[in-house]
């Protein structure tokens, strides 16, 4: 299987140049890693029947059982390793459970092996190693290799956190939406514990016995700051550890929380929200080295198949427009989500912070149509949208869609890549409006407080949010909602005989009489409006945690 053997295109691997990118030279010298993934031993079973079972009826596979039945055939791994050696590439690591082989080599060697041209591209935001067109593999590996990532290391995902904005900017459109005068002029924000109280999280559960895995594509945390933060809330600091894995990143906190290129605020928001609302849970943070598709896929693979820490809840606060990904990346990631469902893992994902566009208004790649964020657009994930709340003492007096203006607010809409799942059959009136199209997977599934105007109190790199002296509002973004729901699911799992696992179908079956959701009927995210029942801004609504637990127990 040398490079001279007959090669065929790898399905779904086509990449195009970003609209604002220019070629500035050849790919840099030096070795780098590429990840090759291979097929399952046997196709994953449909989860539809399993998804409709009640929690106490569900039976999950252990990670060892899942790997044995649905991991890679060692013979397939061996074929990829042989191909690598014949083409001058070094095998760094292979893992049948994760179906992955990590290869190392330089640009010239990878170009010959996979029939690609690697160049250095530059955009106003960053410089990256990239490619255009297809990846080619030997015909003998066709049907065996399912994805190749890392040849192109452009950054796909972004953190869905809202910081670095003045109070006036943060409150702009929300003031006209009916926020209270106190909120407009005194945005002190909420602690996660206060938010949990407002959403009536189960009071006799704290997440004990559960493990929340938090996915990060950069940044870091300082344990001393976490101790200070949790102590200020009057709670014992939860156990927070990091996991290491091949091709993984490190806990690398920066020096300045106000640096737009520093993702520490994302990391601290995730840990502080999940840790505050589920202090009894174990929290494991998984760092990837960057936000490329290779890193995103690799860290998710490591989390799902981690047989040491065994997270049964995963929180993802990163993502990007589903149209900006390759088919191979989306399909591979979705397969991991299906594997997670087999093992009883609940995966919560932020729906995005750029409204129905899912692109910033000044992004040269935006086509002025509506888009949804990935991985939230997968039907096998719990997609979390955002609201803005006004509270009176210990109760929510008003809750509306988070929308601070064009391309600034909760993500949500209709997928162009994933079909409508059976559990959403009753929402077929939510067709895509821009451009018009078929009814497919609707985003989000659920919601929670995300607006900077009613955001979260966070401590990061010595900086507290909010900070009136620097006109810094609380921290917002749907990044807060994913760990919020992850913490809620930890409490709910503690109150169930089995972990809830893939919970979407169960949530859509909860009757309105259970009062498990606060239905959001006011506001929009650009192209979509809130309304009775599910909507493409806030899904089923924000939680009433105690009532939701009761509904799932029954």
Task: Tell which residue, 482, 481, 483, 462, has the closest CA to residue 472.
Answer: 462
Handedness of CA 333, 338, 342, 343 (dihedral sign): positive
Please name the residue ranges forming H helices in 104-202.
Answer: 107-114, 167-176, 181-185, 192-198
249 by DSSP, 3-state: which? coil
**Bridge partners (DSSP) listed for residue 242:** 285
Q: Distance (Å, rounded) from C-alpha 399 to C-alpha 139?
A: 56
Q: Residue 231: which H helix or E strand, with range?
A: helix 223-232
Q: Distance (Å, rounded) from C-alpha 457 to C-alpha 273?
A: 9
Please name the residue ranges forming H helices in 314-438.
Answer: 327-342
Instruction: Decide if 269 contacts 480 (C-beta within 8 A).
Output: yes
Catalytic one among 270, 334, 363, 408?
Answer: 270
278 by DSSP, 3-state: which? coil
Task: Tell which residue, 554, 162, 103, 178, has the closest CA to residue 386.
Answer: 162
Torsion of CA 271, 275, 280, 286, to 10 degrees: -10
Q: Show the tokens assigned to 43.
A: 């196709």
Cβ neighbours of residue 223 closer than 8 Å, sequence gap 6 or more: 240
Q: Distance (Å, rounded) from C-alpha 150 to C-alpha 15?
A: 12
Beta strand 395-401 pairing with 382-392? antiparallel
Cβ neighbours of residue 469 closer than 8 Å, sequence gap 6 or more: none
457 by DSSP, 3-state: which? coil
Number of H helices, E strands in the chain: 14, 26
**Bridge partners (DSSP) listed for residue 373:** 321
Q: Show the tokens assigned to 34.
A: 């590429």
Catalytic one among 216, 266, 293, 527?
Answer: 266
Residue 398 dihedral angles phi and psi, to the nearest 5°: -160, 140
Q: Distance (Å, rounded) from C-alpha 383 to C-alpha 545?
A: 17
Q: Distance (Å, rounded) from C-alpha 120 to C-alpha 297?
A: 22
Q: Show the tokens assigned to 80.
A: 């990829």
Q: Distance (Å, rounded) from C-alpha 200 to C-alpha 543?
A: 8
Handedness of CA 324, 326, 331, 336 (dihedral sign): negative
| 142: annotated active-site residue | no
Beta strand 282-287 pairing with 313-316? unpaired
| 270: annotated active-site residue | yes
| 244: annotated active-site residue | no
Instruction: Decide if 345 contacts 501 (C-beta within 8 A).
Output: yes
Q: Distance (Å, rounded) from C-alpha 516 to C-alpha 495?
A: 15
Catalytic one among 100, 295, 479, 542?
Answer: 479
Instruction: Decide if 404 contacts 173 (C-beta within 8 A).
Output: yes
Residues involved in catalysis: 266, 270, 479
């Amino acid at each position: 299987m040398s490079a001279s053997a007959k090669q065929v295109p790898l399905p779904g691997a086509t990449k195009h140049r970003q609209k604002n990118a220019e070629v500035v030279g050849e790919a840099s010298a030096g070795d780098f890693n590429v990840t090759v993934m291979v097929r399952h031993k046997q196709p994953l079973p449909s989860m539809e029947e399993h998804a409709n079972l009640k929690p106490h009826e569900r039976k999950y596979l252990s990670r060892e059982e899942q790997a044995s039945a649905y991991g890679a055939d060692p013979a397939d791994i061996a074929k990829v390793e042989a191909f690598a050696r014949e083409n001058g590439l070094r095998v760094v690591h292979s893992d049948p459970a994760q179906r992955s082989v990590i290869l190392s080599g330089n640009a010239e060697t990878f170009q010959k092996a996979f029939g690609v041209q690697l160049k250095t591209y530059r955009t106003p935001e960053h410089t990256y190693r990239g490619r255009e067109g297809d990846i080619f593999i030997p015909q003998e590996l066709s049907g065996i290799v399912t994805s190749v990532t890392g040849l192109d290391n452009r950054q796909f995902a972004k953190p869905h956190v809202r910081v670095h904005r003045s109070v006036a900017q943060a409150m702009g459109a929300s003031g006209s939406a009916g926020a209270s005068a106190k909120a407009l002029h005194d945005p002190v924000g909420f602690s996660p514990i206060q938010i949990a109280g407002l959403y009536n999280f189960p009071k006799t559960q704290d997440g004990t016995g559960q493990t929340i895995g938090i996915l990060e594509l950069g940044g870091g945390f300082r344990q001393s700051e976490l101790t200070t933060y949790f102590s200020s809330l009057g709670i014992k600091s939860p156990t927070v550890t990091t996991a290491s894995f091949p091709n993984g990143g490190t806990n690398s906190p920066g020096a300045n929380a106000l640096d737009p290129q520093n993702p520490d605020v994302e990391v601290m928001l995730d840990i502080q929200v999940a840790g505050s609302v589920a202090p009894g849970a174990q929290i494991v943070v998984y760092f990837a080295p960057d936000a490329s598709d290779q890193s995103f896929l690799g860290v998710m693979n490591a989390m799902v198949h981690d047989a040491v820490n065994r997270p049964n809840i995963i929180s993802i606060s990163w993502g990007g427009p589903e149209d900006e990904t390759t088919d191979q990346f989306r399909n591979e990631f979705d397969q991991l989500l299906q594997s997670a469902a087999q093992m009883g893992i609940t995966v919560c994902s932020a729906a995005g912070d750029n409204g129905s566009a899912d692109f910033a208004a000044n992004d040269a790649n935006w086509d002025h149509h509506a888009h949804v964020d990935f991985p939230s657009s997968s039907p096998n994930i719990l997609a979390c949208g955002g609201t803005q709340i006004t509270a009176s003492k210990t109760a929510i007096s008003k809750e509306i869609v988070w929308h601070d203006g064009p391309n600034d607010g909760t993500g949500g809409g209709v997928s162009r890549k994933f079909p409508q799942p059976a559990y959403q059959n009753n929402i077929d009136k939510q067709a895509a409006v821009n451009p018009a199209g078929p009814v497919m997977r609707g985003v989000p599934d659920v919601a929670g407080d995300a607006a900077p105007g009613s955001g979260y109190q966070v401590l990061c790199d010595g900086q507290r949010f909010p900070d009136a002296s620097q006109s810094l509002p609380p921290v917002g973004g749907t990044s807060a909602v994913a760990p919020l729901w992850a913490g809620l699911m930890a409490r709910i799992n503690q109150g169930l005989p089995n972990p809830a696992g893939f919970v979407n179908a169960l949530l859509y079956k909860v009757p309105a009489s259970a009062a498990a959701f606060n239905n959001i009927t006011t506001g929009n995210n650009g192209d979509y409006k809130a309304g009775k029942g599910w909507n493409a801004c806030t899904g089923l609504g924000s939680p009433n945690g105690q009532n939701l637990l009761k509904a799932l127990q029954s």
